[in-house]
Amino acid sequence: MMSGMGFRKRGGTARARASGLGAALALAVFCAGRALAAGDTIVSHSITTFGEPSKYAADFAHLDYVNPAAPKGGEISEATFGTFDSFNPYTQKGRAAALSSAIYEDMMVGTADEIGALYCLLCKTIEYPEDKAWVIFHLRPEVHFSDGTPMTADDVKFTTDLFAREGLVSFRAVLGQFVDTVEVIDPETVKYTFKPESSPRERIQMAGGMPVMSKAWFEKTGAKLDESRMDPGIGTGPYVLDSFDVNQRVVWRRDPDYWGKDLPINVGQNNFDRIRIEYFGDSTAALEAFKAGDFTFRNENSSKNWATAYDFPAIQKGWVIKAELKDGDIATGQSFVMNLRRQKFQDIRVREAIGLMFNFEWSNETLFYGLYQRINSFWENSDLAATGLPDADELALLEPLKDKLPAGVLDQEAVMAPVSGARQLDRGNLRKAAALLDAAGWAVGSDGMRRNAGGETLRIEFLEDDPAFDRVVNPFVENLRALGVDASLSRVDTPQYTARSRSFDFDIITDQFPTGYEPGAGLKQSFGTEGLNDVFNTEGLSDPAVDALIEKVTLAKTRAELKVAVRALDRVLRAWRFAVPQWYKDVYSVAYYDMYAHPDPLPPHALGELTFWWYDADKAAALKAAGAIR
Domain ranges in the chain?
21-221, 335-584
Pairing of strands 75-81, 274-280: parallel
pLDDT(9) > 90: no
pLDDT(42) > 80: yes
- Nearest residue to 238 (alpha-carbon basis) of 220, 222, 254: 254
pLDDT(310) > 90: yes
The superfamily CATH assigns to domain 335-584 is Dipeptide-binding Protein; Domain 3 (3.10.105.10)
pLDDT given at position 534 = 79
pLDDT(33) > 60: no
Give 390: exposed, middle or buried? Use CB within 10 Å, 0-12, 13-18, 19+: buried
pLDDT(374) > 80: yes
The helix, strand and coil proportions of the chain, stated in percent and rounded to the nearest 5, come to 30, 20, 50
pLDDT(514) > 90: no
pLDDT given at position 171 = 87
* Alpha carbons 147 and 51: distance in angstroms, whole number: 39
Fold of 21-221: D-Maltodextrin-Binding Protein; domain 2 (3.40.190)
pLDDT(4) > 60: no
- Chain mean pLDDT for the chain: 92
For helices 200-208 and 544-555, the axis angle rounded to 10 degrees is: 80
pLDDT(125) > 80: yes
Where does the pLDDT of residue 357 fall: very low under 50, low under 70, confident under 90, or very high at 90 and above? Answer: very high
Contact 410, 395 (CB under 8 A): yes
Mean pLDDT of 77-86: 95
Where does the pLDDT of residue 89 fall: very low under 50, low under 70, confident under 90, or very high at 90 and above? Answer: very high
pLDDT digits (tens, 9 = 90+) for 579-601: 999 999 999 999 999 999 999 99
- Nearest residue to 546 (alpha-carbon basis) of 560, 526, 564: 526
Mean pLDDT of 307-314: 96
Mean pLDDT of 504-523: 94
Whether the model pTM is above 0.75: yes
- Nearest residue to 465 (alpha-carbon basis) of 437, 425, 495, 441: 495
Mean pLDDT of 261-268: 98
Percent of the chain whose predicted confidence (pLDDT) is above 70: 94
pLDDT given at position 289 = 97
Determine the straight-line distance between the first and last CA of the chain, rounded to whole angstroms: 29
Burial 578-608 (b: 16+ CB within 10 A, else e): bbbbbbbbbebbbbbbbbbebbeebbebbbb
pLDDT(419) > 90: yes
